[in-house]
Every structure is written in C-alpha cells, then in structure tokens.
Amino acid sequence: MNQSDELIDKIKKGDQSGFTAVVDQYQELVYNTAISIVQNKEDADDITQEVFVQVFLSIQSFKGDSKFSTWLYRITVSKALDHERKKKRKKRFGFMQSLFGSQQGEAFHPVEFDHPGVQLEKKESARDLFSALKKLPEKQRIAFTLHKMEGQSYQEIAAIMNTSLYAVESMMSRARTNLKKILKTYYHQKLSDQ
C-alpha cells in the first residue's frame, strides 16, 4: 500500500488528518490545473476548494481502478469546465440585459492572468498562448493543457479523459495545428497594427 492509498483509507474511515494530508499533497496540482484552464486566480481558488469538497464527499466512490491523481485530475477538469460554462452563461445573460437596458447586468472585464509556472520574462508570450488556448475546442484544450502544462503522458491523459490513446494523439496533433494557425493570425495582425 503506497502513501496515497493509506491517506485514502484514512479519509474513508473518517480520519480528518488523512484529508488534510491529501489537501496538502495535491493542492498545488489541483490549483495549477484549474488556473491553466480558467486563467483566473480567484476562479482557480474557488475551483480548488470545490474539488476538495467533492473529494471529501465522494471518496467512498473511489475504487482504486485508476491512480488517485487521475481521479483528482478528472474532478478538477470537470469542475473547471463547469465553472467556465456557468461563467459563459452569466456573460450571455449580462449581455442580453445590457441590450434591453437593464443596469443590473454584471460587467465582464478580462482579468490580468498570471500562471504560477511562467517566468517573468515570458509573461507576454504566455499570455498570448493562454489566449490562443481559449480558442481551441474543449477536448483539444484539455489534452494540450494536461500534457504541456501538467506534464502528463498521453497514457495518463487518456485515463483522465476516459478515452483512447489514439484519441489523445489525435487531439494533440489537432491542438498543435490549430494553435499554430491561431497564433500565426494573431501575430500577423499584431505586426500589421504596429
């Protein structure tokens, strides 16, 4: 039995110290995955909390068929994507309210995004990449994020996304092709604006 298995066993038995240890051990993984997807510090903090609440509430359903980290990534990706969908609905609702003259619509402004793993001198390039990532189809974006930002192997991504290795390879290939097109268009436009 490895350390994760011991902690999971403790949590299942209601031992609070096991849950605290899991949070300490995996909090950075969850936060970094969430911020890579939602690109907003406050949202990533909220998602991190939601993930650990979900872990606490559903730990009994974890059967050990996959690694604990795989299960945790699945929950994190799911919570982050749900969060984005809710935010998009709010944004559309706010837009509709503004069209019809309601002053109660929430104003949406882009947030300055800083990923904790990006060095200062690369912030502008990273901002461009994260902006381009937002334009990818959801599955391509998740596969790319898990591989390039979280360092997950294709096999692990297939387990996290509950798909085949071939599908992950295909998503990664399409993600790279689409990112190249998006960034080429972006930089071409940026140069012509100067």
Mean pLDDT across 61-67: 86
Per-residue pLDDT of 6-50, as tens digits, reads 888 888 888 888 899 999 999 999 999 999 899 899 999 999 999
Distance between CA atoms of residues 128 and 75, nearest Å: 27
| Spans of all domains in the chain | 1-106, 118-194
85 and 78 in contact (C-beta within 8 Å)?
no
* pTM, two decimal places: 0.74
49-58 pLDDT, tens digit per residue, is 999 999 999 9
Residue 84 structure tokens? 């984005």
Rounded mean pLDDT of 73-86? 93
Q: What is 1-106's CATH number?
A: 1.10.1740.10
In angstroms, rounded to a whole number, what is the distance separating the alpha carbons of residues 154 and 33? 16
Fold held by 118-194: Arc Repressor Mutant, subunit A (1.10.10)
Q: Which two tokens stand for residue 22?
A: 């899991």
Query: pLDDT, tens digit, for every residue of 105-129?
Result: 443 334 445 555 555 555 566 677 8
* Alpha-carbon gap, residue 92 to 190, rounded angstroms: 28
pLDDT given at position 39 = 87
